Structure 1
Amino acid sequence: MEAKLDLPFDADKMLAGLQRWVECESPTHDAEAVNRMMAMAGRHLALMGATVETIPGRMGFGDCVRARFPHESREKGILVLAHLDTVHPVGTLAQGLPFKRVGDKAYGPGIQDMKGGTYLAVEAIGQLIKAGIPTSKPVTVLLTSDEEVGSPSTRDLIQAEAARHSVVLVPEPARPDGGVVTGRYAIARFNLRTTGRPSHAGARLGEGRSAIREMCKQIIAIEEMTTEACTFSVGLIHGGQWVNCVATHCDAEALSMAKRQEDLDAAVERMLSLKPTGNEVHLQVTRGVTRPVWEPDDKVLALHAQAEALAKRLGFALPHESSGGGSDGNFTGAMGIPTLDGLGIQGALAHTLQEHVQISSMVPRAKLFAGLLQNV
């Protein structure tokens, strides 16, 4: 049966609902804030008719929400996989990025990555329910709490839930050209610690060995390892306690990303084999969370072809590509479960104080998502 796409989505109403989500700030490392957002989304899903469960968080992260919608079939269904944590700390709304609408753009913390896409997916389910249009398979929505730091506490939950489904739809932001994602690069994170020798920075500077100085040398060396095949970057650094003390310790976090798993594996070896630049300082490198490479197979390309046909009916193109900037789609795609990512709203400048979405893309993308729920 041909999917029905003429559903009465209303961009203004969608934006009003999305505003409530955006204004419930939910940075990853604030479990209490994330749980407030999860409670809001869980209630929304319950009112739609889903059976909603709160799955307790662990490792200091917030809870997750799983919502199952009733369906006649007992076959493996569709998993809508999304996260509600953001990179923006509480207070960003008041200082730097308030929710606002300017022309065709709507701004706010996490509005593009990825509260906008998550809200869009939920709205698509809701419009199908209101219209009495069944989805092709049972639908489960899984909302996670720690994607922005690599999903260390939820990877097992994601993989277990995905294994019970035949297809995964991920409403991460659309690509800049409006396309979707059919593969993701591999990503590895690393924790670094340098240890020096303390001394009084005024009276006995020469007796000390600065952990900060050593870390700075390591950072330059690490970032200079970047090639076309594999990138290296350091995004977090913290060291020292007093300006008049030569720093004993300095900590940093690094990230490496590669298009091929073998290139990432080589990067891991290089990072773990780093040595201190002198005998009187120490360096420790430990491996953090990793996202496996996800390469598209025939099943993924067939899933994209279905989406592309729906987009054509809606009057827009839907190119696809493999992409950096990992998502939880890395896990499900690497498991061999047909996964389509980047189904969210178009926008730009995620993770910055100019993060925004294009309002005009909301209705077409919601109709596309609703069409997929009817077809896949």
Structure 2
Amino acid sequence: MDKKWLELLERLVNTDTGFDLDNSTKLERTQFIADILKDYGFQVHRESAAHVALKGKPPYLTLIGHLDTVFKEGEASRRPFTLQDNVARGPGVADMKGGAVLLVAVVEEATKKNLDGLCVILNVDEELGSKESRETFEKHAKESVCCLSFEPGGIHGELVASRKGIASLNIEVKGVKGHASRLEEGANAIVEASHKVCELYSLNGHIGSLTVNPTIMNGGEKSNITPDLCRIYCDVRFSSTQELKEFEKRLVEIVSENRIERTSCTYSLTERRPPMLFMDEMKYALEKVFQNLGRRFELEHSSGGADGAFFTTFGVPTLDGLGLCGGRFHSEEEFALIDSFKDRLRLAVELLECFDQRRSEKKVRE
């Protein structure tokens, strides 16, 4: 990894871009990355929670990544970038500031090879669910022929071929207040909610690969009052829209049948990210690239959601996990393996060239 890329990685890691900052602040703090893209001939501007850089005309070869982290303001000062032998550490060093540096290096190589029709999107709200930047991704997905995402690779070099979608489930159980010593006076919302939590959890393993995990439960007012309200939040992960539909069908049954008399239940189920699918066109491109490289990378299906899913929803072949390899993401032990840089760089550039050739062939046919 050349010195200039290490210096860029150090600067990025030592720039706080945590979830506790507003998006405009994070965009301002990372403007230096956008300025580097300008130096490569891109037209750069800001859209919803993202830096967007365009070079040439669509349809685009699109590269994406995020510049935000899960760490609070001050973490970079408390735990700045360090490098020992092959291992880099610091907040977000792998997820995914290392990937952002790799993306810029890919842009440099693509520029040297005179590749045109490039789109780069670097958002600052990915760790918050990309609520604002989703609009930006979907807009440019409609103009893309492929999407390469630079989330971190696995510790053994794995690429992410597909990902689960994410949905948020909020349940509200209402009961009746009463004196805690007189059970007949009240209708305990916490007890009813507990039944529903157990029923929901029992669905795991019965609807394809879908998982439902109750992670937050709040109820009760005082120790001597029967609670009349309890709220539950569940994290839901799914590999297909059909799985989510089947889950909601079972969910309706669970919330409509109450064990405790005089309780009632409502819910809201919101898709936060669609699943990222492994499309045939990306499979074929990878096979060609593996042959050119003379080596293969393992492919994995991830239970974690990411922004590449916004592209497969529009039929755009997408590959993720192209960033620096590493591990212990979202923790103080997070690390990135510097010696993975060279192979990831070559892999990404080969993929861009492959899709550029396909794009050219398609234009000729048209």
Say whether the fold is shared (TM-score over 0.5).
yes
1:28–1:34: 8 Å Cα contact kept in structure 2? no
Match of 1:356 in 2: 335
Q: CA deviation at 1:134?
A: 1.2
Match of 1:46 in 2: 38
Match for residue 201 of structure 2 among 223, 234, 237: 223
Match of 2:51 in 1: 65
Secondary structure of the 1:235 match is strand
- The answer to whether 1:298 aligns with 2:280 is yes
Taking only aligned residues, the RMSD between alpha carbons, in angstroms, comes to 3.2
Match for residue 269 of structure 2 among 287, 308, 329: 287
Match for residue 331 of structure 1 among 310, 313, 316: 310
Q: Structure 1: which 5+ residue stretches go unaligned?
A: 1-8, 58-62
Q: What whole-Å deviation, never above 9, does each CA across 1:277-300 have from its counterpart, x for those lacking one?
A: 423444332012243334333212
Match of 1:88 in 2: 71
Match of 2:22 in 1: 31
* 2:236 partner letter: S
Match for residue 76 of structure 1 among 47, 59, 72: 59
Q: CA deviation at 1:165?
A: 1.6
- The answer to whether 1:253 aligns with 2:233 is yes
* 2:50 partner letter: C
Q: What whole-Å deviation, never above 9, does each CA across 1:239-293 have from its counterpart, x for those lacking one?
A: 5677787666544432222334322221232234432542344433201224333
Counterpart Cα distance in 2 of 1:208 and 1:15: 63
2:279–2:318: 8 Å Cα contact kept in structure 1? no
Counterpart Cα distance in 1 of 2:220 and 2:29: 35
The total of aligned residue pairs comes to: 350
Match of 2:13 in 1: 22
Structure 1 residues 140, 196: CA separation in 2 closer, same or farther (over 3 Å shift)?
Answer: same
TM-score (norm 2): 0.81
Match for residue 99 of structure 1 among 65, 81, 106: 81
1:68–1:139: 8 Å Cα contact kept in structure 2? yes
Structure 1 residues 101, 286: CA separation in 2 closer, same or farther (over 3 Å shift)?
Answer: same
Match of 2:113 in 1: 133
Moved more, 339-348 or 187-196: 187-196
1:92–1:98: 8 Å Cα contact kept in structure 2? yes
- The answer to whether 1:233 aligns with 2:213 is yes
* 1:133 partner letter: K
Counterpart Cα distance in 1 of 2:174 and 2:33: 44
Counterpart Cα distance in 1 of 2:35 and 2:188: 52
* 2:33 partner letter: A
Q: Structure 2: which 5+ residue stretches go unaligned?
A: 356-366
Match of 2:254 in 1: 274
Secondary structure of the 1:274 match is helix
Secondary structure of the 1:121 match is helix
Counterpart Cα distance in 2 of 1:252 and 1:36: 37
2:164–2:302: 8 Å Cα contact kept in structure 1? yes
How many percent of aligned residue pairs carry the same amino acid? 26
1:188–1:268: 8 Å Cα contact kept in structure 2? no
Match of 2:363 in 1: none
Q: CA deviation at 1:230?
A: 1.9
* 1:278 partner letter: I
Counterpart Cα distance in 1 of 2:333 and 2:223: 34
Structure 1 residues 305, 283: CA separation in 2 closer, same or farther (over 3 Å shift)?
Answer: same
Structure 1 residues 114, 161: CA separation in 2 closer, same or farther (over 3 Å shift)?
Answer: same
Q: CA deviation at 1:78?
A: 0.5
TM-score (norm 1): 0.79
Q: What whole-Å deviation, never above 9, does each CA across 1:16-68 have from its counterpart, x for those lacking one?
A: 2112222222234632443344434323323443211111x4xxxxx211011
Q: What whole-Å deviation, never above 9, does each CA across 1:285-329 have from its counterpart, x for those lacking one?
A: 2012243334333212112123323543xxx53122333212222
1:152–1:289: 8 Å Cα contact kept in structure 2? no
Match of 1:373 in 2: 352
Match of 1:160 in 2: 139
Counterpart Cα distance in 2 of 1:103 and 1:179: 22
Counterpart Cα distance in 1 of 2:123 and 2:353: 24
1:38–1:64: 8 Å Cα contact kept in structure 2? no
* 1:295 partner letter: L
Counterpart Cα distance in 1 of 2:325 and 2:58: 32
2:154–2:327: 8 Å Cα contact kept in structure 1? no
